[in-house]
Amino acid sequence: MIWKNRSFVILLSGQWVSQVGNALFIMAVSWYVLTRTHNRTLLGYVMAVEGLAGIAAMISGVYADRWNRKGTLVVTDIIRAILAAALALWLVSGHLTIWELALGLLVLNLLATLFQAAQGGYLPEVTGPEAYTEAGGITQSSGAAAQLAGLGIGGFLLALGGPLLLFIINAATFAVSAGSLTLTRSLKAPEKPGAEPSPSSVWGDLRVGLKMVWQSPFLKRLVPVAVLINFVITPVGVMDVAWVREVLHRGAVSYGFFTTSILAGMVLGGLFMAQIRKWSSFSIVSGWSLAVSGLALAGMTMVLNYAANLVFLFVMGIAIGVVSGLVNTRVILDTPPAFRGRISGALNALVTALIPVGLALSGWASGPLGLPWLFRLSGMALAVLALGFIGMPEAQPAVDSSPAAGNLS
């Protein structure tokens, strides 16, 4: 049973605390920028700068495979704790500008891409391949629950201590995460760098990762669909604070509950993802889930009532939790262990490539379109993109291919 795995429980707990801090921090940044500038376009630009870090995920994945994964996770968290604390001190001094905050976000997100790539390879080492499907669903639900908790209390903390309090908490959670990671152990000794044939250069390793994605019929079909999904859903992530303040005319506490609704649904969707998957094929379950999420978002814009919005977002969250969990678990299990960092990094960079553009356009388009139509069009586009899962090729079982590495290079 996965819960008897001490290292997994410690890893899950530490990441839960860290993700609570991340949720609080993003909430604080959005509130701080919009409250200080009253400019939705500028808020979109700030978030777009943060999103640029996704491009670095390709390189991060290469280094995650080359370095000791556990050590990478610990050091990355320590650096993030120091940087987050520095941002809090700069805010106290009264000298923190909007663009300095955006730069801090960019660096934190660059470090996050390295952390995520290393974590993608380390988690299967901790759980073993047999237990990873269960662990993957639990980890996704835990992440959503952490955001749920962070955003649920974030409104109260904003009202209590403003953005500064949330900045400080974020720094502390990185330190907790680093400490917990030192207590974890993998089930087997990590593979030594160079154990499998691979190109000697970083760019060579990167080429291997990209070529493996290209040669997989499943990944080659998945990537363009995922790119467009991440692009059209960006208004929800960046303009949610403006929706609560300007459309629903609510304050910080209501904003916290608003953002937790979708995350509560994601928790539920992640927990039941494996059971729902048994109903039909991957492509059918994923396609219908994405269609439901889009229709729920579009429906929310038709009923401008706070309670009704919470219900629509909860339904949307369940659907997103299912499709996200199915895709993430399938990609990891179908990737050879020695290449998980590279594949994870390459995929993350590819599927998030248009997010910065979407974030910037969301801020700009919210003016001429208005927030209701911006969200409505986003939901309609999600529903249409569900068609992209029709006939999605089956993924091939992961093979630890030393020869393949040579062929790919």
pLDDT in tens, 98-141: 888 888 888 888 888 888 778 877 877 887 767 766 676 677 67
Tally of CB atoms within 10 A around 208: 24
In this predicted structure, what is the pLDDT of residue 227? 86
Q: In percent, how much of the chain has pLDDT > 70?
A: 81
> What is the set of domains in the chain, with CATH numbers?
2-186+201-408 (1.20.1250.20)
- pLDDT at position 408 over 60: no
Distance CA(336)–CA(105), nearest Å, equals 32
| Structure confidence by residue, pLDDT tens digits, 194-224 | 444 444 566 666 676 677 777 777 788 888 8
Q: At what angle do helices 355-365 and 40-51 cross, to 10 degrees?
A: 180
Output the CA torsion sign for 260, 263, 227, 391.
negative
CB contact set of 229 (below 8 Å; sequence gap of 6+): 290, 382, 385
In this predicted structure, what is the pLDDT of residue 201? 62
Length of the chain: 409
- If we measure between CA atoms, which residue out of 248, 96, 263, 255 comes closest to residue 164? 96
Distance CA(35)–CA(251), nearest Å, equals 11
Buried b (16+ CB within 10 A) or exposed e, 216-255: bebbebbbebbbbbbbbbbbbbbbbbbbbbbbeebebebb
Q: Which pair of tokens denotes residue 360? A: 């910037």
Distance CA(1)–CA(24), nearest Å, equals 32
237, 286 Cβ separation under 8 angstroms: no
For residues 388 and 409, the model is more confident at: 388
**3-class DSSP assignment, residue 280:** coil
Euclidean distance between the first and the last CA atom of the chain, given in angstroms as a whole number: 39
Amino acid at 38: H
Amino acid at 114: L
Side-chain half-sphere exposure of 54, counting CA atoms within 13 A: 21
In this predicted structure, what is the pLDDT of residue 316? 92
Residue 404 pLDDT class (50, 70, 90 cuts):
very low
Please give the backbone phi and psi of residue 97, each rounded to the nearest 5 degrees, phi first. Answer: -90, 165
Output the CA torsion sign for 241, 242, 243, 248.
positive
In this predicted structure, what is the pLDDT of residue 385? 92
Strands (E), 58-182: none
**3-class DSSP assignment, residue 278:** coil
| Structure confidence by residue, pLDDT tens digits, 41-85 | 787 777 777 667 766 666 776 777 778 888 888 998 999 999 999
Q: For 231-258, what is the mean pLDDT?
A: 83
| Structure confidence by residue, pLDDT tens digits, 308-323 | 999 999 999 889 888 8
- pLDDT at position 193 over 50: no
| Structure confidence by residue, pLDDT tens digits, 19-36 | 888 888 888 888 888 888
- If we measure between CA atoms, which residue out of 370, 367, 278 comes closest to residue 326? 278
- If we measure between CA atoms, which residue out of 269, 262, 270, 265 comes closest to residue 240? 262
- If we measure between CA atoms, which residue out of 358, 351, 363, 360 comes closest to residue 55? 351
**What are the start-end ranges of the H helices in 335-370?**
340-351, 355-365
353, 55 Cβ separation under 8 angstroms: yes
Range among 57-71, 242-256, 320-334 rated most confident:
242-256
pTM of the model: 0.63
Distance CA(395)–CA(392), nearest Å, equals 9
- If we measure between CA atoms, which residue out of 233, 228, 241, 259 comes closest to residue 374? 233
- pLDDT at position 301 over 90: yes
Q: What is the mean pLDDT of the chain?
A: 79
Q: Which pair of tokens denotes residue 152? A: 């649920």
Residue 256 pLDDT class (50, 70, 90 cuts):
confident
Distance CA(283)–CA(389), nearest Å, equals 5
87, 102 Cβ separation under 8 angstroms: no
273, 323 Cβ separation under 8 angstroms: no
In this predicted structure, what is the pLDDT of residue 373? 93
Query: Which burial class, exposed, middle or buried, applies to 147 when counting CB atoms under 10 A from its CB (0-12, 13-18, 19+)?
Result: buried
**3-class DSSP assignment, residue 67:** coil
Distance CA(378)–CA(234), nearest Å, equals 8
